[in-house]
Structure 1
Amino acid sequence: MTQGPRRLDVAVSYAAPRRGVPAAASFRKWVAAALAGRIREADLAIRIVDAAEGRALNRHYRGKDYATNVLSFPAELPEGLPEGVRLPLLGDLVICAPVVAREAEEQAKPAAAHYAHLTVHGVLHLLGWNHEDDREAEAMEQLERTILAGLGLPDPYPGE
């Protein structure tokens, strides 16, 4: 497996009940796997939220009035930095615990595996990956499969 970032700072905050939600160490491991071979330094924050906060954030930032599983907020570089200067600030992820729990149950998969998938998915968005069209979606899904397999986790897109 490719080495992870040399310096990784992942702040995890819990604004929802912790029951069934993985520990911060798990989120750090998943982030490191998603960044391995792609970035040398990274700072990011992950906030675990309840349905009300997830819905409010999705409505405010995406104009969609429902809670979604993961939101990615890439960091924007401050103005005035010389060209080519990169800050290690990657951005923020917001993961909605009740949505993740419901989806894991509906998809008959362990909640931890679904959290891992959504963390990897969100980190890839922070790195600029998207799924706006079929070609982009296929490439992103294949990368997610590879990263998760490296963690010993099953294909998050079985049958696709």
Structure 2
Amino acid sequence: MASSRRGVPHARSLNRWAQAACAHHAPRGEGQLALTIRVVGAAESRRLNRTWRSKDKPTNVLSFPAAPLAPGDKGVPSRFFAKDFAELGDLAICAPVVAREAREQGKPAQAHWAHMVVHGVLHLLGFDHENDRDASVMEAREVKILALLGYDNPYA
């Protein structure tokens, strides 16, 4: 993905952040993982969020795991069994929401973009924050990955 959209990080940055999230949490030795990052506007984010989550408002990041490439085997996501290439899924990141949140939270826009990519990739890898325990686990992973990338704790 290449973007000349004002305020949207370069594709190299998006790729580096996604790779950092995958490097510490994806199975090793099963080939290359791939994902698509689509930068969307508020209207498209709202439409996707309404369709897939029944929430009628735009949101910062939506994660769409890829369909399995082959039937699952004992609970291990089958998408990891591809020989050379496996599609992890898609992220839809809403540029206006990310920009607004960064301003409201007093965070550098680049740091908030990095957080949204890492957060979305962790969702694709099976992490969630539906309860306090799972949220603690996911947030700790986000903080660790972001620190390795040189960014402050987004929850502090």
TM-score for both structures, normalised by structure 1: 0.84
Q: For residues 78 and 32 of structure 1, do their structure 2 counterparts lie closer, same or farther at Cα, with a shift above 3 Å needed? A: closer
User: SS of the counterpart of 2:14?
Assistant: helix
How far has the Cα of 1:82 moved from its partner?
A: 7.4
Q: Take 2:91 and 2:122, find their aligned partners in 1: how far apart are those partners?
A: 11
Q: In the alignment, which residue of structure 2 is the partner of 1:44?
A: 35
Q: Which amino acid counterpart does residue 51 of structure 2 have in structure 1?
A: H
**Does the aligned pair in 2 maintain the 1:145–1:156 contact within 8 Å?**
yes
Aligned counterparts of 2:10 and 2:24: Cα–Cα separation in 1: 24
1:110 aligns with 108
Q: Which amino acid aligns with 1:24?
A: A
Alignment of 1:33 with 2:33, yes or no, is no
The number of aligned residues is 144
Q: 2:59 is matched with which residue?
A: 68
- Residue 55 of structure 1 deviates from its aligned partner by 0.5
Give the C-alpha shift of residue 106 in structure 1.
Answer: 0.1
CA distance in 2, matches of 1:150, 1:78: 31
Moved over 3 A (4+): 81-85
Shift of 1:137: 0.2
Provide structure 2 residue ranges, at least 5 long, that are not aligned to the other structure. none
Secondary structure of the equivalent of 1:72? strand
Q: What SS does the aligned partner of 2:92 have?
A: strand
Q: Percent identity?
A: 56
Q: Is contact 1:13-1:47 (8 Å) kept?
A: no
Q: Which amino acid aligns with 1:99?
A: V
CA contact (8 A) 1:104 1:114 kept: yes
In the alignment, the residues of structure 1 paired with residue 22 and residue 40 of structure 2 have an alpha-carbon distance, to the nearest angstrom, of 23
Matching residue of 2:5: 18
CA distance in 2, matches of 1:74, 1:19: 28
Aligned letter for 2:48?
L
Deviates more, 1:115-124 or 1:32-41: 32-41
* Structure 1, unpaired ranges of 5+: 1-11
**Of 89, 92, 103, which aligns to 1:91?**
89
TM-score by structure 2 length? 0.87
**1:143 aligned to 124, 141, 144, which one?**
141
Partner of 1:8: none
